[in-house]
């Protein structure tokens, strides 16, 4: 069964990017062990990210000049970029630009995933919108030994413990990986 998963790295103080929307802080953490991302991504059939995350990846990886890097990392996996502005597409990448209601896009992503999982890369506001509509099944956090003091919050929504169940904890080098199952909110009564 397809699960919609928010898999991300976070600072100890709950930020996924610094105040300049950069992830450079993440690459300062030394790691000697296996990178769990490859195993995670093997089960991903489609994914989505917000415009700010996409722009950072474009610039950081120089993807417009070296589009092969996208394919090396993500292959032909269908990708949706949520944006309200015109953004460049990476040549040869299976990317669809979207805006507005996440529900029909999620439906298309689940269909494209063909029984594999849907990955929500970020940012937190985008993931929060999926959670608002009961479309988030799991949160997987790699907590890095870093504090940022400010930046893009992990998930700018209120999700109480009644909706979250800790289902796994794993230590990998300096990171602690926490997995939470997300209970969908109760359906609103029809009027």
pTM of the predicted model as reported, rounded to 2 decimal places: 0.93
**Closest by alpha carbon to 58, among 126, 49, 106?**
49
Asked whether the CA dihedral 43, 29, 11, 143 is positive or negative, the reply is positive
Nearest CA to 8 out of 36, 46, 45 is that of 36
Percent of the chain clearing pLDDT 90 (strictly above): 88
33 or 74, higher pLDDT: 74
Q: Which tokens in the block code for residue 115? A: 């029984």
Residue closest to 138 by CA, chosen among 158, 117, 107? 117
DSSP annotation of 134? T
Whether 187 maps to a domain, the answer reads: no
For the chain, give the mean pLDDT.
94
Please tell me the distance from the alpha carbon of residue 16 to that of residue 10, in angstroms, as a whole number.
Answer: 5
- Name the packing angle between helices 124-132 and 102-113 (round to 10°): 90
The pLDDT tens digits for 113-167 are: 999 999 999 899 999 999 999 999 999 999 999 999 999 999 999 999 999 999 9
In a domain, 190, yes or no: no
Give the count of domains, the chain: 1
- The candidate with the shortest Cα–Cα distance to 83, out of 50, 57, 121, 125, is 50
User: Which CB contacts under 8 angstroms, 24+ apart, belong to 168-174?
Assistant: 170/36, 172/31, 172/33, 172/34, 172/36, 172/142, 173/30, 173/31, 173/32, 173/33, 174/29, 174/30, 174/31, 174/144, 174/145
Q: How far apart are the first and last CA of the chain?
A: 32
Cα–Cα dist 128/137, whole Å: 12
137: in domain? yes
**Is residue 102, in this structure, part of any structural domain at all?**
yes
| In a domain? residue 30 | yes
> Does a structural domain hold residue 189?
no
Range of the structural domain that residue 102 is part of: 4-182
Express each pLDDT in 53-62 by its tens digit: 999 999 999 9
Q: Binning pLDDT at 50, 70 and 90, where does residue 189 land?
A: low
Q: Which element (helix H / strand E) includes 47?
A: strand 44-50
Query: CATH no. for residue 57?
Result: 3.40.430.10
Residue 144 resides in a domain? yes
Domain-located, residue 157 = yes
- Residue 17's pLDDT band (cuts 50, 70, 90): very high
More confident position, 154 or 27:
154
């Amino acid at each position: 069964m397809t699960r919609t998963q928010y898999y991300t790295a976070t600072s100890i103080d709950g930020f996924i990017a610094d105040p300049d929307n950069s992830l450079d802080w993440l690459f300062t953490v030394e790691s000697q062990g296996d990178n769990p991302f490859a195993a995670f991504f093997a089960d991903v059939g489609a994914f989505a990210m917000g415009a700010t995350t996409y722009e950072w990846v474009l610039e950081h990886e120089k993807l417009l000049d070296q589009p092969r890097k996208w394919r090396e990392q993500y292959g032909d996996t269908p990708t949706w970029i949520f944006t309200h502005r015109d953004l460049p597409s990476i040549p040869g990448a299976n990317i669809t630009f979207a805006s507005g209601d996440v529900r029909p896009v999620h439906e298309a992503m689940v269909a494209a995933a063909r029984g594999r999982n849907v990955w929500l890369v970020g940012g937190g506001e985008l993931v929060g919108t999926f959670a608002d509509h009961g479309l988030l099944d799991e949160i997987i956090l790699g907590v890095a030994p870093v504090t940022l003091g400010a930046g893009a919050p992990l998930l700018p929504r209120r999700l109480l413990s009644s909706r979250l169940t800790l289902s796994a904890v794993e230590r990998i080098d300096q990171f602690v990986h926490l997995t939470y199952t997300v209970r969908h909110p109760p359906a609103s009564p029809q009027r």
